[in-house]
Structure 1
Amino acid sequence: MALPRTTLEQWVVLQTVIEQGSYAQAAQVLNRSQSSVSYALSGLQERLGLSLLEIHGRKAVLTEQGRALLVQASPLITAFLQLEHRAAGLKGGVRTELSLVVDSVFPKNRLFRALKVFQQLFPDTRVHLTEILRGESIEQLNERSADLYITTLAPENAIHGRFLLDVDFVPVAKSDHALLQLPVPLTAQDLARFPLISVADRPMPRTDNHASGTIANWTFTTVGAAMEAIAVGVGYGWLPLESVQSALDSGQLSRLALSARTVRQTALYMMLDNESERFDQTVSALAKSIVAECGLLP
């Protein structure tokens, strides 16, 4: 492979001259002498065998050939500067990629606000996000080899995580659903007459002796799909309040008035190893952004 005849430095000088409009202004921005700017551009044009610039009055403008070539060179300049920025991050211990595993019921608005804050701090770090459903054991979570987890934990395992928040689940149905025409409060017998829409990571065990006249419940693998099924009147279900709040406010869905408790709570925890939190500034920054969005002190 032959080496390039031109240098990235020469293209940066050309780009700066065009952006600033003159050799003098470009020299000031680049912290160089005007003669060194002129020398770099003369060398670039000489090696290409093309005229790239014209002087109109006191302003430097591109020729047709110069415009075509600079359009192609500009992304390369940007990519090279990003490469150097990433190298500086690696030198300072910044990770290039993080893996995040999040329970699907964790409020999306909080999650994405936290990720936005993290992105502003570490723009060159890529985040790989995997959503899971409740019920994975610590052993199953460890098999995913993520840097940070937001998940439910069994009471005996809660000591391994940091509490983030309680997710409120409320019973909802489409606003014109038959359940909302019944006298309140609704009883278990009332609910049993209609399909329960739930979220599960696997189908319910199949049975061939389904009792005649009983209502078949439905399961979905995402909160969004369950909510859409409820919104068209397939059945009722318990969904995260933050996920359905806008649909409740618009009147698309309505909360059911039950004789039993009308709010269920699921606690979510953050898990990461102590070494990452203490010594990995990238993981630590992401953890702090999430904790802040949950209204907790660092």
Structure 2
Amino acid sequence: MHEPADFPRPTSVPLDGVNLEVYEAGQQNVGNPIVLCHGWPEHAFSWRYQLSVLADAGYHVIVLNQRGYGNSSRPPEVTAYDIEHLAGDIVGLLDHYGYDTATVVGHDWGAMVAWWLSLLHPARVDRVIALSVPYQERGDQPWIEWMEAVFGDDFYFVHFNRQPGVADAVFDENTERFLRNLFRTNEPPPQPQPGMALIDLATREAPVGDPLMSEAELAVTVESFQSTGFTSSINWYRNLDRNWHLLADLDPIVHQPALMIYGDRDPVAHGPNLTRFVPDVEVVNLDCGHWIQQEKPEAVNRVILDWLDRNPAG
């Protein structure tokens, strides 16, 4: 079990219509910004083992609770969580700090933000680092429609979209149990089509595997979601097909240097066409599950710093 690392106090950064809760380390205006984007259902605290290490390496580290999370704004409209808004928040942060470009790092949903930000605002991203979730090929069919056809209507992505509010209420009523059951390591191999298994975690009595976090660490995320509820974060999923349309006319190729870190035991599938869409990518596999930067913090830090040194910005 890793001991909690020191984590800075947040500041609230006002942007166009929203405020973002931001944690920083390192010296501002050194020309070396790196933005860390968390996934679902997480918190900026998930980057606790990377923040100080990257700052010590000379980076200005900007870790945000993205909209819908923590003390960042939670707009009521579902469409406020589409990729134009999520990517716009990162651009707004760069403008706030006076940076033209930054290295953007994302895990899980944060990786999707990083990939799509590099397409929507290519001049603002100099390098991309993604953990767990590879670049998503757009394909000929909107993503939720495709998932429904392939995995069925009980697959959680589809369920979130087709039955709005149902999963939200289950998670809200069982927040501590859901997150305790979700944030595990050394679990048995997942079923290829998990269906409702994710939602069922909210009512499972006995956790499977080993805890990812100490009680103090877990409490950070539990208390955050007990305060915010889950609807705003699940609204990200409810924009997947909207994002499919928003990305239609963009160059689909990620031209920036990229690092893709997979967990060998992560149920998220590896990207079979990754190099087709991300030609300048280096792929690293680690012996861990989905929560990569928390399960293997030393290895992740070593891989990231080595890759950054070999792929200087600009």
TM-score, length-normalised on structure 2? 0.27
Give me the TM-score of the superposition, normalised by structure 1. 0.28
